[in-house]
Amino acid sequence: MIRHLGVKFVYFNPEQSDVSPLPANQPQAEVKKGDALDLEAQKLWQEKQKRIEKLSAYRRRVIQCEKEFERSLARMRSVMTKIRNRPADAVGEAKQLIDDIVEKLMCDDNVTLHLMNGKNEFEDIYFHSLNVAVIAMMIGRAKGYSAEQLKALSFAALFHDMGKIKIPTAILRKQTPLSEPESNYLKLHTKYGLDMANQIEDFPESAKTVIAQHHELRDGSGYPEGLKGDEIDELAQVIIVANAFDNLCHTPIASEQKIPYTALSHLYKNCKHLYKEENLNILIKFMGVFPPGTVVQLSNNMVGLVISVNASHLLFPNVLVYDPAVPRTQAPIIDLASKDIKIVNAIHPSKLPEKIKEYLNPRSRISYFFDSDE
């Protein structure tokens, strides 16, 4: 009767009532339970959407970084093409390239190092020079170098192997150990590079020094002068470490090539006496325990490829994982910083089953580029 009056609620005094209150209406409880389930489902859906958007944003970042890398590589190719006949143009283009990269590097404290696709095995000098420049800049940045110091460092890195233009391709790409005469011929690239630099007007003196010294070692066993310790120029000592790491990953002799994880381990365990310790420690620190390009086994038994490492989360890289249920172009990417998953160990690509190797596509040419998390 009260319902028919349109009254929404009433007051009552239980002490004046003769009958106990009726039990709660069961259908109402079911409705409330259903609402709770709907809310939980909505929450899960929202979390899933956030993960999808985060992954999509990361993929967009990688694509943009790849484009920046390809543009820089094309500019580097143009520089090296012009260095013989139009050296002034080559130097000018190199300086502009460096200005652009250094500006990008200095714009944010939070930098991510990405693995890039190296597509042409016959352009090693371009990949190598740009890679050494990127690695050297990361070391210089960690050392607190100013923008001008970073520009001097990266210019020298781009041209450190310029003298190899005069070394026969048969020696540079020989896939068996060099004979003693061949090895001695290859060592002349430091002299050839310095001769070329001396013929170029306004070529920076700091870069000339690096060209001459980038194979010197702190124990005096390097060449061409056998310099020791701090007799070696400061910028040269940074580039020497970056050059050594990249050379370990890309020696022409396939059996001697090391994956990034093994290359870092080799430098730390066997070569600390050859390089300035500060520079080597910085290299190891910003590359992380498992550098980009390393195939890894995860604690959930999945296998993946480390594709990037962030300076703020060195122990938690992004890993592209093998999942046969997902197309390779849409392979899952796990951010270990947001998952209760750890890397157990590194795996050499040659140990992978063929289907996993094809899926992950571990690079034979390990190239790096960076972006900021601005």
Maximal C-alpha separation, the chain: 114
Model-level pTM?
0.83
Residue at 6: amino acid letter: G
pLDDT > 80? residue 34? no
Domain ranges of the chain: 61-287, 291-363
Q: What is the mean pLDDT of the chain?
A: 87
Domain covering 61-287, topology: Hypothetical protein af1432 (1.10.3210)
Note every long-range contact of 3-9, with CB atoms under 8 Å and residues 24 or more positions apart, other chains counting. Answer: none
Q: What is the pLDDT of residues 205-262, one digit of tens each?
A: 999 999 999 999 999 999 999 999 999 999 999 999 999 999 999 888 888 889 999 9
Which residues lie closer than 8 Å to 337 by C-beta, 6 or more apart?
310, 313, 316
pLDDT score of 17 = 61
Which of 22-26, 170-174, 248-252 has the weakest average pLDDT? 22-26
CA distance 298 to 344: 5
CA distance 188 to 176: 19
Q: What is the pLDDT of residues 61-117, one digit of tens each?
A: 888 888 988 899 899 989 988 988 898 899 999 999 999 999 988 887 778 888 887
Residue at 340: amino acid letter: D
Residue spans of beta strands (DSSP E) within the chain = 111-117, 295-298, 303-310, 313-321, 333-335, 343-347, 366-372
In the DSSP assignment, the letter for residue 307 is E
Which of 38-52, 132-146, 303-317 has the weakest average pLDDT? 38-52
Instruction: Tell me if residue 112 falls in helix, strand or coil.
Output: strand
For residue 247, CA distances in Å to 18, 125, 260 come to 94, 11, 11
Instruction: Judge: domain 291-363, CATH 2.30.30.
Output: yes
pLDDT > 80? residue 52? no
Q: What is the pLDDT of residues 189-208, one digit of tens each?
A: 999 999 999 999 889 999 99
Banded pLDDT at 54 (limits 50, 70, 90): confident
Q: How many C-beta atoms lie closer than 10 Å to residue 145's C-beta?
A: 21
CA distance 247 to 259: 11
